[in-house]
Structure 1
Amino acid sequence: MGPDAPLPTDEKLDGEHQEHVLGDESSIKGGPNAIDPLNALGIENWGDVEKKVVKRLDMTILPMLWILYLSNYLDRTNIAQAMLDDFDVHLNLGPQGYNTAVSLLTVGYMIGQLPSNMLLTRVRPGIYLSGCALVWSVCSACTAAAHNETTLYVIRFFLGITEAPLFPGAVFILSAWYTRKELALRITILYSGLVLGQACSGLIAAGVFHGLSGVNGLHGWQWLFILEAASGAAVAILAFFVIPDFPHSKTGAAMWYMTEEMRSVATARMQADRVSEGEAHHGVFYGVGLACKDYKLYLFSFTNFCMTASYGFNFFFPEIVSGLGIGSGPNTTEEMQRVYSLLLTAPPYIFAALVSFAFAYNSDRIKNRSFHIIPALCLSLTGFVITVATLNYPARYFSSFLFTPGSFSANPLVYTWAVSTLSTTPEKRAASGAIVNMVGHCGNIASPYFFSRDQAPRFLPAFIIMMSFAATTIGCAVFTRWRLIVENKGLKRKADETGGRYVPFTL
């Protein structure tokens, strides 16, 4: 448990009560009217069965969703690497053409998320998500045929729509199978597909540009889109046989790698983990309405927006690193300088993945989100300050080892915090996850315009803006923690009065 926060009133609490208010799920208790869904199963060794369930999930659904998300992000961000292969010149992009293409993908991404997540509560996830992966792979491959701004804009917009279902859908499925104390690490592992995708994309692009440029009359960037889309399609076909439906479902891949007893325990443990047992199995629009009535939805949405806007450097990182001129010299060719720049984009992201695992593991271990989000963003702020304060290129490259892991450690924790807090019913959880992610991606619409090429390679205004958003996110995390402490006190009083189960919000 993290350090005790000051309570918002002068009420004195005994040690046990204070532990409850601070959001430790291990303190879940019940009064005489409480019913434990796990004990109600009548399975004596349900604890051992539960361990088997988690292990089986970690061996199947988690790695499959991770590979899908890695493929998703490769197809989404390979446009950043393409810029180093004269992508903008070949397509005659205007001064803001690249920025607009990046933003249009995000617009499509936002439009597709909420309808997709609500549909996911009514369809088989294994078929739906793998089908979406196959469609976005085809759409991404079409980028190789783009010949001007207009065709690029259309392709990017529809690529955003087809990619939209994966991340919120994957988180929804994970939250249907993993409890809150297990979720942050698993979502961070999923999110590391994004981080490592960014690292791998530079390495892949370096190899493709060096070895395939001009082959069969195609530019290197065209081969990049084709090859990464082909690998994504292969992964989509595999996912059909691995991604399960819901714990209570009688269909899906889980039917062949989990016993009926395991599925019963999987269902009961999720029922036991909910903060409150709201009405379930209502229509999807009821879930949207339930989410919109909860003020915490707006608080988490704004927090996620600020969080997303604070890492706008993501789509410009290859250009930022290229502008540092590391490895340049009188005998360095333009092609080799491009390869050096692409290779140098990988280490900060690899380091970011390792740091984010450490933050997520400890967040689950002590069952706390806010005391991990805040230090991670302080790390980002330090990196942004160094970038703004100096023109020294080695120092600026070093700063990327601060703001990259800081941003990518905090982001999945913010989203995990939101999904696990707004999870009264499956429909509310699906709607809330999609809305929070959708609003967050408004930051991705705005952030490309932070960067103007006449400010390269320093991009001073962009880093100042991102620094401001990171600081605002810290303030949001502090305020959210305080509000949840207040709500936990109310939940504890209600449980004491009614004798029901007390399950606090995670702080």
Structure 2
Amino acid sequence: MATSKNALEHVPSDGISDGPMDAKGVPYSRRDYAGAQAKTDPLEIKLVRKLDMRIMPVLWLMYFFNYVDRGALAQARLNDLEQDLGMAGNDFNVAVSVLTVGYVLMQVPSNMLLTRVRPSIYLAVVMFIWSVISACTGLASSYGSLIACRFLLGFFEAPFYPGALYLLAIFYTRKEVASRMAILYTAQMAGLSFANLIAAGVFAGLDGRRGLSGWGWLFILEGTASAVVALGASWLLPDTNETTRWLSDKERAIGKSRMQRDQLVGAQEHEPIWYALKSALRDRRLWLFCAIQNFHYAGLSFINFLPTVIKGLGFTDTIALLLTCPPYIFACIASLLLAWSSGRFHERTWHITAALSIAIIGFVAAASTLNVAGRYVACFIFPAGAYSVNSVIVGWTATTLSQSPEKKAVALAVTNVSGQVAQIYGAYLWPGSDGPRYVIGFSASAAFSLLSLLTSWVMRFVLMRENRRMQQSIGGDGKVNSYAY
């Protein structure tokens, strides 16, 4: 390999040369095509293991209840929610989408604030508030009170998800972040899956107790459990590499140093938040990621309707809830495998292409038949394909638009808002009148997944061109930190 005139030769204690090094002392031989490096320092490996043990469990539990609380509405529908509150027509679809309205309004301001406060306290407080609102939903006595609770639930749930992504993005390198985001996403799928088991048990054992319906007990119990988790989260969540109280001074230094080595060209430690917002909104790549996310989330619009789709095959409410669990468990496994592979090879587009192609096949198969076995098998295929790309897309966004922590926070919030907007109109793609086949919903999900796939390839070509420009501007034969695609 040709050696840059500024490269240094690194000879470790074993006498075997690692070859030329960059200006930061990292051998080029340890970097991949985008300049990302593998961990070799035992102290760094130990630190990452500690971060995993402290950060991932608490974020996982918080995200689990984030989805349990918001997803309870889908299970409540199978326990006479609509009849009890006098709902008709598209009232349920409105109740689904109004949560997203509150969600969208709060996300960007919240992540802008997150860079100026202690994340550990902020995220724990908003979780406690949404838990109380979720529990109060169980006491709703009219359609109007349900809508109010759903809007406020979305408003106070909004800070958590982009905030959790931001925490992962500031503690983990580009090669590490996708697999951690995949682990976080398993909480979402576990929430969707086990919430159905919880609901089945609550409906069977508590329906009518103390004059309260089963769906009312469901909201109250899940909200209470969520509040307990929130109380513990403030002690366990981190803040930053420099300020987290359960890191030693040496660990803080290592954490800061490794994230600095992983920074892209032109990155800076901090910038004014309003400048970061302006910079992000002017970045054309942000809007491409917004399109990828919006199309992808539109393809995920089946989330609130999968129990209803399965019930349409002739099953009872309880059986439908139980049968909704295995597809999400299968999707968890697929998500972890895809994220591991994406991180291992530091590649995004081909992984997204493979997963969304599988999802499209599943959507088409589900729309094509009402055969019980055939459609139920399809209900394994499309969630596995659609859900597994979540961590890859978000990790790609976080590591591409990361010129400063503030820009990273804004970019994650804006792209997630674009995805959540799809949930507003996506709720109307599954009208009850289209059941039990739901051709409109499945066809739309397939089309939106295809659009997300194609937009990912547009992003790939944009980043390839920018990488060539960066390499040419620096000169030499060494690898520079650049964009993964």
Do they superpose with TM above 0.5?
Answer: yes
2:321 paired with 1:380: no
Q: What is residue 353 of structure 1 aligned with on the other side?
A: 332
Q: What is residue 306 of structure 2 aligned with on the other side?
A: 317
> For the residues of structure 1 that align with 2:420 and 2:307, how far apart are their CA atoms?
21
Cα contact 2:313–2:370 (8 A) shared by 1: no
> For the residues of structure 1 that align with 2:335 and 2:127, how far apart are their CA atoms?
26
Q: What is residue 163 of structure 2 aligned with on the other side?
A: 169
Equivalent residue runs for 1:220-235 within 5 Å: 220-235=214-229
Structure 2 SS opposite 1:414:
helix
Q: What is residue 115 of structure 1 aligned with on the other side?
A: 109
Q: What is residue 136 of structure 2 aligned with on the other side?
A: 142
1:219-255 Cα distance to aligned partner (Å, 9 max, x none): 0000000000011001001111110110012xxxx42
> For the residues of structure 2 that align with 1:503 and 1:262, how far apart are their CA atoms?
24
Structure 2: gaps (5+ residues): 5-17, 28-38
Q: What is residue 289 of structure 2 aligned with on the other side?
A: 300
Equivalent residue runs for 1:494-505 within 5 Å: 494-496=473-475, 502-505=480-483
Which structure is higher in RCO with an 8 Å CA cutoff and minimum separation 6?
1
Amino acid at match of 1:389: S
Q: How large is the RMSD of aligned CA atoms in angstroms?
A: 2.1
Q: What is residue 472 of structure 2 aligned with on the other side?
A: 493
TM-score normalised by L of structure 1? 0.88
Equivalent residue runs for 1:25-64 within 5 Å: 31=22, 34-36=23-25, 47-64=41-58
TM-score normalised by L of structure 2? 0.92
> For the residues of structure 2 that align with 1:313 and 1:56, how far apart are their CA atoms?
37
2:390 paired with 1:401: no
> For the residues of structure 1 that align with 2:377 and 2:181, how far apart are their CA atoms?
27
- Structure 1 206/477 Cα, relative in aligned 2: closer, same or farther at 3 Å? same
Amino acid at match of 1:294: D
Amino acid at match of 1:462: G
Cα contact 1:28–1:501 (8 A) shared by 2: no
Structure 2 SS opposite 1:502:
coil
> For the residues of structure 2 that align with 1:492 and 1:277, how far apart are their CA atoms?
13
Amino acid at match of 1:452: P
Equivalent residue runs for 1:8-407 within 5 Å: 31=22, 34-36=23-25, 47-249=41-243, 254-256=244-246, 258-326=247-315, 337-407=316-386
> For the residues of structure 1 that align with 2:171 and 2:347, how far apart are their CA atoms?
20
Alpha-carbon distance, 1:152 to partner = 1.1
> For the residues of structure 2 that align with 1:95 and 1:28, how far apart are their CA atoms?
69
Q: What is residue 461 of structure 2 aligned with on the other side?
A: 482
**What is the aligned-residue identity percentage?**
38
Q: Which moved more, 1:162-171 or 1:477-486?
A: 477-486
Alpha-carbon distance, 1:194 to partner = 0.7
Alpha-carbon distance, 1:283 to partner = 1.9
1:438-471 Cα distance to aligned partner (Å, 9 max, x none): 1111110111100111111111111111111011
Cα contact 1:495–1:501 (8 A) shared by 2: no
1:113-160 Cα distance to aligned partner (Å, 9 max, x none): 001101000000110011111000001111012111211111111100
Alpha-carbon distance, 1:277 to partner = 3.6
Structure 1 SS opposite 2:370:
coil
1:16-52 Cα distance to aligned partner (Å, 9 max, x none): 99xxxxxxxxx99865xx34599xxxxxx98111111
2:458 paired with 1:469: no
> For the residues of structure 2 that align with 1:445 and 1:147, how far apart are their CA atoms?
24
Cα contact 2:3–2:20 (8 A) shared by 1: no
Amino acid at match of 1:135: I
2:459 paired with 1:459: no
- Structure 1 246/46 Cα, relative in aligned 2: closer, same or farther at 3 Å? farther
Q: What is residue 42 of structure 1 aligned with on the other side?
A: none
> For the residues of structure 2 that align with 1:378 and 1:436, how far apart are their CA atoms?
22
Cα contact 1:308–1:411 (8 A) shared by 2: no
- Structure 1 364/15 Cα, relative in aligned 2: closer, same or farther at 3 Å? farther
Alpha-carbon distance, 1:276 to partner = 2.1
> For the residues of structure 1 that align with 2:225 and 2:266, how far apart are their CA atoms?
42
Alpha-carbon distance, 1:105 to partner = 0.3
Amino acid at match of 1:350: I
Cα contact 2:65–2:226 (8 A) shared by 1: yes
Alpha-carbon distance, 1:389 to partner = 1.7
> For the residues of structure 2 that align with 1:406 and 1:429, how far apart are their CA atoms?
27
Amino acid at match of 1:164: A
Amino acid at match of 1:49: L
Q: What is residue 410 of structure 2 aligned with on the other side?
A: 431
In the comparison of the two structures, how many residue pairs are matched? 461
> For the residues of structure 1 that align with 2:117 and 2:88, how far apart are their CA atoms?
42
Amino acid at match of 1:283: P
> For the residues of structure 1 that align with 2:3 and 2:435, how far apart are their CA atoms?
56
- Structure 1 219/280 Cα, relative in aligned 2: closer, same or farther at 3 Å? same
Alpha-carbon distance, 1:282 to partner = 2.3
